[in-house]
Amino acid sequence: MRRLLAVGSLLIGLALVILVAFSLVSSPTAQPPAATASPGAASPVPSGNATAVPNLSGLASIRESQLPAEGRRTLALIRLGGPFPYNRDGATFSNFERLLPRKSVGYYTEYTVPTPGESDRGARRIVAGKDGEKYYTPDHYESFKFIAEGK
């Protein structure tokens, strides 16, 4: 019964993600509404300022348009401040691997990028810094690329 409820909740969450992403794509001139971020979530980044964050990390970049579709939807949800489909979205990312620039504890938050065909959260994530920079990892923190937003 719990598994059925969990699957149902996941499907509802994914439906909301798709609905939000579709509304953003179908209305390119509309600005996202101001949202109140949940505790621990990264502040939404208005899409107009998406390209203003420079890559100071020294990591290779990936253009937003090169992210998988699920990554672009997760990025849109981060900008809106949610709602997020996974309860770990918005949790502190501690950077134990030391692949991202070293910052104080609590500086980074992580968000799930769903992987089609996976029964769990999968390996893909977006990690957001408090200064607005975002990084994509396709392999559960083994490597990162700086996300060049708006490109």
Q: Give tens-digit pLDDT for 44-81.
A: 334 444 546 999 999 999 999 999 999 999 999 999 99
Distance CA(87)–CA(121), nearest Å, equals 10
Number of separate domains in the chain: 1
CA-to-CA distance for 147 and 144, rounded, in angstroms?
Answer: 9
pLDDT score at 107: 98
Contact present, 128 and 40 (Cβ < 8 Å):
no
Catalytic residues, by residue number, are 110, 140
Neighbours of 67 (CB within 10 A): 22
How open is the CA angle 28-114-27, to the nearest 5 degrees?
A: 10
What are the CA-CA distances from residue 38 to residues 84, 129, 149 (Å)? 10, 15, 22
pLDDT of residue 151: 86
What is the CATH number for 90? Answer: 3.10.450.30
Q: 27-41, 105-119, 121-135: lowest mean pLDDT where?
A: 27-41
In the predicted model, what is the mean pLDDT of the chain?
78
Neighbour tally for 105: CB within 10 Å? 8
pLDDT at 13: 53
User: Token pair of 151, please?
Assistant: 């490109």
What is the domain range of residue 79?
2-148
Say if pTM beats, i.e. exceeds, 0.75. no
